[in-house]
Amino acid sequence: MSAAISSMPFGTEITSDDIIDTLSFFDDWEERYKYIIDMGKQLPPIAEEKKADDYLVRGCQSQVWIDHEVADGRYFFEVDSDAFIVKGLLGIIMSAYNGKTADDILAFDIEAFFEALDLLKHLSPTRGNGLRAMVQKIRGLAGAPV
């Protein structure tokens, strides 16, 4: 497993429940945005050669790259973006999907997760579409019909 993938804290050390709990501590969305941006800084950088079309997620306002490995039936992701807020959003998504089996990924109710975070109504429509494009890419890698 690559060093970037094995050092990803989201989904292993930081779970989706942790994200919900932490974001609920903040009183306003300005503070939440700052926290989300800080989360993005915890993502290990993706290798430069993976910042290529093969890994690019279509439908995102910013550039987003996703790669993955499967080890012992679990999916481990390497992700990156050229936008700080999107890197944080990737961290949120990784908290739900990284280190999980395909069945876990496909069964996870991402819409309920976003609802619990009150996330989509605080993103621009283009960011929301990009968030869904990232989720669709991950679910596709796990075998969901596209």
Residue 6 known to be catalytic? no
Are the beta carbons of 112 and 91 closer than 8 angstroms?
no
Catalytic residue among 14, 23, 46, 60: 60
* β-bridge pairing 64-71 and 100-101: unpaired
Distance in angstroms (rounded) separating the CA atoms of residues 45 and 13: 18
Count of residues making up the chain:
146
Two tokens at 51?
């910042």
**C-alpha distances in angstroms, 124 versus 24, 61, 82, 85, 130?**
21, 10, 17, 12, 10
Active site residues: 60
